[in-house]
Chain A
Amino acid sequence: MDLSFAEIGHYSLVLALALSLLQSFVPLWGAHRLDGRLMSVGPVVAVVNFGYVALAFAALVAVHVTSDFSVANVYENSNSQIPLLFKITGVWGNHEGSILLWILILALFGALVALFSSNLPDTLRARVLSVQGWIGTAFLLFLLLTSNPFARLNPAPMEGQDLNPVLQDIGLAIHPPMLYLGYVGFSIAFSFAIAALIDGRIDAAWARWVRPWTLLAWLFLTLGIAMGSYWAYYELGWGGFWFWDPVENASFMPWLAGTALLHSAVVMEKRGALKIWTILLAILTFSLSLLGTFIVRSGVLTSVHAFASDPTRGVFILAILTAFIGGALVLFAWRAPGLKQGGIFAPISREGALVFNNLFLIAATATVLVGTLYPLALDTLTSRKISVGSPFYQLTFAPLMVPLLLAVPFGPMLAWKRGDLKGAAQRLAVAMVLSVIAVVLALFLSGAKGVLAPLAVGLGIWLIAGSVVDLTERARLFRGSLSTSFARLTGLPRSAFGSALGHAGLGLTVLGITFVSSWQIEAITSVKPGQSIPLGHYQLTYVETTNGRGPNFRAEVSRFQVTGDNGRSFTMAPSKRFFSARQSATTESALKTIWLSQIYLSLGDRSDDGSLVVRAYYKPLVTLIWLGGVVMAIGGVISLSDRRLRVGAPRKARARKPAAEPVST
């Protein structure tokens, strides 16, 4: 073939770079000159730009699917033997491909803004698209100059080196795209913030436009983090779900800041207060996304020295990071004081509660940030090496969460401007009673061995019950006839259900974490065929180990017969896989979900006398950790569906563009 996919992809990337440059300056210049023709270039270029990036991505998928090992990226990360799914997911299971995915999602969001923002004021829209163009340009340069995914090998090898076995999992198909949709989605809020600062004008309408995009990014990030956590849980072989690993923290920080942004944007939209702060949060949230990209992509974590030995990529991202964050903050310092603040409120009010939320979320973000970067900074400055692990976060992050979570149910109960704390407490009485009952019950059932876990159970119930009370109070349930209450409930704005679900989901996650951290049952032992392991209410009997084959691996599958006290019986089959291409192995744990709890079974070494080392856990309510995340995301979707109907152009913008119809976002 004369012109191969690789060249088409490479060429498309160069064209996309040219278009990004165009997008970076022409609409901006048009907005400055108030020239409608120049501004109208923005949306067209943004959509075409997406087309070329998508073409490049499709080309990379094509070379992976066709196992074209003359492309270095395919040779290093794929193999002709692996299933089609992993040939495709292998596209982003490596540095170059994942940066291309990052750019693809950025271009997608740019195109979406271009298509669904005809109700924005022209100048704002032009500036937003230009800022998106800057980000696109920077990352396309990074890709083309330091991480070209289409680089060729000559001569072409016969067989690829295979995808890292750990990544050969459905998790890779879902987790990175979700995470990037979240990360990169926050770029929209960033671009809006920069555009507003250039514009020098910001109003409640701005918050109305920004919120749906932020919500969209937030819900994908929520799902991405939950998915990543579950993946680590079943893949690592001992059932941990969160490690405070710097790479995890890198995704958690934008989530915390993004959650704060969601809440402060509400205040700005409804009350016109917290404008400057919301702008700053929008900048910070995307800055943390960029920081996360730097942390993960530069190799700075493995060690400062590894970073110093091959600094090209790291320094390039660091430059992008510095330029965008530094530039944005300078612009903020220069322009923000000129923005008009508005909306006075009493400390005890809905606004006050949301400020409380922001204060604690930002303190939590700062804690994670310092915990992640401090060892790095200390090593660089003083060559002292320290580790910051989960015990640190248990002493710092967890205490910050307690007052925040306690306050959550009060927020929606307080009125805007001036709230009535006593009244809110009275309306929450049912939730309080339920939480106290939960604490007492947990204390009693756990044999009163500690008070922290029962209190945490109470906190989880408090969040869930508080969300239910929020809805029943709005519907005035039990205060009128049931039918009018029902009519009220169905008449509530969808965002009311969204926030209630969001808070309830948080409660579910708290319950899951508490139960599994405090009351899991563990059995680590060595068994021979026919022997049993007692695990709580279950007996696990080792039956046999057989050999099997997968498409690109050899497997040892061990079967266990599990019998419950209630007489229920089922089989579990954890296995070990040996991948010849990379000479490495993975343990595939077996999971059995019983209601919301799970039995977790993972294998160790098998010795010659036939005995097998087994790690077995009963993990009570463990699934709630991730179900909580899913419920939060569903809350986001419901809230978003509400906004779609209402987010139409505010009057001021409509007056300027009389022809524009209110378009859903």
Chain B
Amino acid sequence: MLALALLCAVAAPAFAVQPNEMLPDPALEARARAISEGLRCLVCQNESIDDSNAPLAHDLRMLVRDRLKAGDTDAQVRQYLVARYGEFVLLKPSFSPENLLLWGTPIMVLAVGGLILLSRRPRRQPRTLALSAEEEAALERILSREDQPG
């Protein structure tokens, strides 16, 4: 089922982040890992460069770390990669107008579904009319009669 993702893994018996790739500064390395998790290994099927074994993923990991060492902010690193590889590299698509349908679907379905439910709801209020004084009295009579034995 994961054949495609698996094939990517098979391509090279090595794996994802290598110890020698890691930055000595733990804070910087943590940022690099966080950014990597949101970047797509371009030749893989929905795998992030942090998880992928493909040689390209290795190159991208190095690139991310080079940019961080050069003093880029997280956003600048992402921008740099998008400029080079296109939006395809981001696992989280941008909130751009073209992606409105993508991001809007959950809310749209909820809203439309909710509206349909509201409009379909039968407007039948439980009509509990109060009894008139006469009816009350009649009821009282009947009830008290039933109470008596015989």
Taking beta carbons and an 8 Å cutoff, which residues of A are in contact with B?
Answer: 164-167, 175-176, 179, 228, 231-232, 235-238, 240, 243-248, 251, 296, 301-302, 344, 347, 355, 359-360, 362-364, 366-367, 370-371, 374, 378, 382, 384-392, 395-397, 399-400, 524-526, 576, 584-587, 602, 604-605, 613, 615
- Contact (Cβ within 8 A) B19 A382: no
List the 5 closest A-B pairs by CB distance, nearest first. Answer: A389-B91, A391-B92, A585-B13, A385-B88, A363-B109
- Contact (Cβ within 8 A) B13 A587: yes
Residue of B nearest to A363 (CB): B109
- Contact (Cβ within 8 A) A344 B117: no
- Contact (Cβ within 8 A) B15 A587: yes
* Residues of the B chain whose Cβ atoms lie less than 8 Å from the Cβ of A344: 122, 124
* Residues of the B chain whose Cβ atoms lie less than 8 Å from the Cβ of A364: 106
* Residues of the B chain whose Cβ atoms lie less than 8 Å from the Cβ of A392: 91-93, 102
- Contact (Cβ within 8 A) B18 A362: no
Output the least CB separation between A447 and chain B (Å): 16
Interface size on B, residues (CB 8 A): 50
CA gap between A165 and B10 in the complex, in Å: 9
List 8 A-B pairs, Cβ < 8 Å: A231-B1, A248-B1, A359-B113, A359-B117, A392-B93, A524-B22, A604-B14, A605-B18
- Contact (Cβ within 8 A) B90 A236: no
CA gap between A138 and B4 in the complex, in Å: 27
Residue of B nearest to A390 (CB): B91
* Residues of the A chain whose Cβ atoms lie less than 8 Å from the Cβ of B146: none
* Residues of the A chain whose Cβ atoms lie less than 8 Å from the Cβ of B38: 389, 391
Output the least CB separation between A231 and chain B (Å): 8
- Per a CB cutoff under 8 Å, which of B5, B9, B122 touches A245? B5
Given A166-B9, A301-B45, A344-B122, is A370 in contact with B14 using a C-beta cutoff of 8 Å? no
- Contact (Cβ within 8 A) A363 B106: yes
Interface residue? B51 (CB, 8 A): yes
Given A236-B2, A387-B88, is A245 in contact with B46 using a C-beta cutoff of 8 Å? yes
- Contact (Cβ within 8 A) A166 B19: no
- Per a CB cutoff under 8 Å, which of B1, B16, B93 touches A238? B16
Residue of B nearest to A579 (CB): B10
Interface residues of B in 69-100 (CB under 8 A from A): 86-93, 98-99
Output the least CB separation between B93 and chain A (Å): 5
Given A167-B3, A385-B86, A392-B93, is A524 in contact with B19 using a C-beta cutoff of 8 Å? yes
* Residues of the A chain whose Cβ atoms lie less than 8 Å from the Cβ of B14: 604-605, 613
Interface residues of B in 41-66 (CB under 8 A from A): 45-48, 51, 53
Cβ contacts B94-121/A at 8 Å (1 or 0 each): 0000110111011001100110010001
- Contact (Cβ within 8 A) B1 A237: no
Interface centre among B18, B38, B46 (most CB of A within 10 A): B46
CA gap between A587 and B4 in the complex, in Å: 16
- Contact (Cβ within 8 A) A246 B45: yes
Interface residues of B in 101-149 (CB under 8 A from A): 101-103, 105-106, 109-110, 113-114, 117, 121-122, 124
- Contact (Cβ within 8 A) B106 A367: yes
* Residues of the B chain whose Cβ atoms lie less than 8 Å from the Cβ of A243: 2, 5, 46-47
Given A167-B3, A243-B47, A245-B2, is A359 in contact with B110 using a C-beta cutoff of 8 Å? yes
Interface residue? B28 (CB, 8 A): no
- Contact (Cβ within 8 A) B87 A384: yes
Given A387-B93, A392-B91, is A228 in contact with B1 using a C-beta cutoff of 8 Å? yes
* Residues of the B chain whose Cβ atoms lie less than 8 Å from the Cβ of A175: 1
Output the least CB separation between A254 and chain B (Å): 13
Given A165-B10, A359-B113, A391-B38, is A374 in contact with B101 using a C-beta cutoff of 8 Å? yes
- Contact (Cβ within 8 A) A164 B3: yes
CA gap between A243 and B93 in the complex, in Å: 16
CA gap between A15 and B114 in the complex, in Å: 50
* Residues of the A chain whose Cβ atoms lie less than 8 Å from the Cβ of B10: 165-166, 584-586
- Contact (Cβ within 8 A) B6 A382: no
CA gap between A248 and B40 in the complex, in Å: 17
* Residues of the A chain whose Cβ atoms lie less than 8 Å from the Cβ of B121: 347
CA gap between A390 and B36 in the complex, in Å: 13
* Residues of the A chain whose Cβ atoms lie less than 8 Å from the Cβ of B5: 232, 236, 243, 245, 247
Interface residue? B23 (CB, 8 A): no
- Contact (Cβ within 8 A) B98 A378: yes
- Contact (Cβ within 8 A) A363 B110: yes
Interface residue? B68 (CB, 8 A): no
CA gap between A98 and B14 in the complex, in Å: 30
Residue of A nearest to B122 (CB): A344
- Contact (Cβ within 8 A) B109 A247: no
CA gap between A613 and B121 in the complex, in Å: 63
- Per a CB cutoff under 8 Å, which of B1, B17, B40, B87 touches A524? B17
Residue of B nearest to A394 (CB): B92
* Residues of the B chain whose Cβ atoms lie less than 8 Å from the Cβ of A166: 3, 6-7, 9-10
* Residues of the A chain whose Cβ atoms lie less than 8 Å from the Cβ of B2: 228, 231-232, 235-236, 243, 245, 247-248
Residue of A nearest to B111 (CB): A363
Output the least CB separation between B129 and chain A (Å): 19
CA gap between A166 and B10 in the complex, in Å: 8
CA gap between A235 and B124 in the complex, in Å: 58
